[in-house]
C-alpha cells in the first residue's frame, strides 16, 4: 500500500529533514546543477528522476557533504551542511543511510561481519550480544536471515542489494539515500527491491531520496517525483501529476521507459 505523502498541509509548520535552496554546482565548464531547490519532509520518499549524467548522484554527494556546492543552501536535519567541520559532518552522516548502486560490501567478510562492521566502527559501546541482535533484526527486515554466514560472492545481485540496505539500516538512520537501487537487476528482483524500499520507509520511519532513471521504481517507491533536466527540477509532484504533463521532454522520458 502506498504511504501517504508527508508534505505539510496549509497552516502546518513541519520542518523538512532536507532543504536544498538554489544549489549550483559546476565542474569547470560543465554546469551540472543550475539553482535546484527541493524539500524532503519527515516520513516522505522523494524520487529524483533523470537520465545518466544529469547530476542526480552529484545531488546526493552535496546532501551528504561529500561535495561542496558552488553556491546555495544545503540544510540536513537542521544543520547547514556547508558550515560543518569534519567531526560534525561525520556525526551527521551517522544519521544518513547510503544505499550504493553496487552495494559496497566487503568480499572478504561474511554477511554477519559486513553488517557488524559499521557498529564496530561507530558504536563501540555495544556488547557482542547487542551487535548480534542488531544483525538479526536487519537481516529479518530484508528477509535474508539464512545468509548470515555466507559471503557476498555466494549471493545473487538482488541479495547483495538487500544486504547493502541492511548494513545501512543497522545504524538506524533517519534519512535514506538510494542511488539507482534497481540498476542491473532483472524485473522480478527490481520489484522486490522496490517493495523493500517501501517496507523500510514504513517499518523504520525513514525519509528518503531515491535517485533513479527507472520509472517503475519511481512509481512504486515515491510519494513525490522531481524530474532533473538541464540542471533544473523541471517538474515536481506525484507520479501521476508529473506524467500527465504533455510536454514532449516529459513524454520522451516516459516513452523511453515504457514503450522504448
Q: Is 143 left (phi over 0), alpha (psi -120 to 50) or beta?
A: left
pTM of the full structure: 0.89
Percent of the chain with pLDDT over 70: 93
Region 29-54 average pLDDT:
92
- CB contact set of 125 (below 8 Å; sequence gap of 6+): none
**Residue 251 pLDDT greater than 90, yes or no:** no
Mean pLDDT of the chain: 89
Q: Give pLDDT tens digits for 17-39.
A: 999 999 999 999 999 999 999 99
User: What is the rounded distance in angstroms from the CA atom of residue 32 to the CA atom of residue 161?
Assistant: 28
Domain ranges of the chain: 15-95+219-260
Burial of 37-56, coded b for 16+ CB within 10 Å and e otherwise, reads ebbbbebbbbbbbbeeebbb
Assigned fold of 15-95+219-260: Rossmann fold (3.40.50)
The pLDDT confidence band at residue 254, using thresholds 50, 70 and 90, is confident
DSSP H or E run through 74: strand 71-76
Q: Give pLDDT tens digits for 74-128.
A: 999 999 999 999 999 999 999 999 987 777 899 999 999 999 999 999 998 999 9
Region 195-211 average pLDDT:
95
User: What is the rounded distance in angstroms from the CA atom of residue 109 to the CA atom of residue 155?
Assistant: 13
The pLDDT confidence band at residue 148, using thresholds 50, 70 and 90, is very high
The pLDDT confidence band at residue 258, using thresholds 50, 70 and 90, is low
Region 37-46 average pLDDT:
96
The pLDDT confidence band at residue 8, using thresholds 50, 70 and 90, is low
Region 222-244 average pLDDT:
92
Give me the pLDDT at residue 42, please.
Answer: 96
DSSP H or E run through 38: strand 30-40
Q: Give pLDDT tens digits for 174-186.
A: 999 999 999 889 9
Q: Give pLDDT tens digits for 60-69.
A: 999 999 999 9
Amino acid at each position: 500500500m502506498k504511504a501517504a505523502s508527508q508534505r505539510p498541509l496549509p497552516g502546518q509548520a513541519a520542518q523538512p529533514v532536507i532543504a536544498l535552496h538554489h544549489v549550483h554546482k559546476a565542474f569547470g565548464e560543465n554546469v551540472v546543477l543550475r539553482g535546484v531547490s527541493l524539500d524532503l519532509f519527515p516520513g516522505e520518499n522523494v524520487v529524483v528522476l533523470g537520465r545518466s549524467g544529469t547530476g542526480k548522484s552529484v545531488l546526493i554527494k552535496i546532501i551528504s557533504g561529500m561535495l561542496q556546492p558552488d553556491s546555495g543552501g544545503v540544510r540536513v536535519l537542521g544543520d547547514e551542511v556547508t558550515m560543518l567541520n569534519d567531526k560534525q559532518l561525520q556525526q551527521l552522516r551517522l544519521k544518513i543511510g547510503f544505499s550504493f548502486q553496487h552495494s559496497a560490501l566487503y568480499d572478504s567478510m561474511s554477511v554477519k561481519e559486513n553488517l557488524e562492521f559499521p557498529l564496530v566502527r561507530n558504536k563501540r559501546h555495544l556488547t557482542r550480544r547487542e551487535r548480534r541482535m542488531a544483525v538479526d533484526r536487519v537481516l529479518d527486515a530484508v528477509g535474508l536471515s539464512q545468509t548470515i554466514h555466507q559471503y557476498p560472492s555466494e549471493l545473487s545481485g538482488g541479495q547483495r542489494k538487500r544486504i547493502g540496505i541492511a548494513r545501512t539500516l543497522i545504524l538506524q538512520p533517519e534519512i535514506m539515500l538510494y542511488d539507482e537501487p534497481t540498476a542491473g537487476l532483472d524485473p522480478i528482483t527490481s520489484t522486490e527491491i522496490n517493495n523493500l524500499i517501501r517496507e523500510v520507509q514504513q517499518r523504520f520511519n525513514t525519509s528518503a531520496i531515491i535517485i533513479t532513471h527507472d520509472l517503475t521504481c519511481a512509481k512504486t517507491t515515491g510519494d513525490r517525483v522531481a524530474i532533473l533536466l538541464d540542471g533544473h527540477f523541471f517538474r515536481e509532484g506525484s507520479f501521476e501529476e508529473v506524467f500527465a504533463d504533455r510536454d514532449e521532454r516529459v513524454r520522451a522520458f516516459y516513452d523511453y521507459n515504457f514503450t522504448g
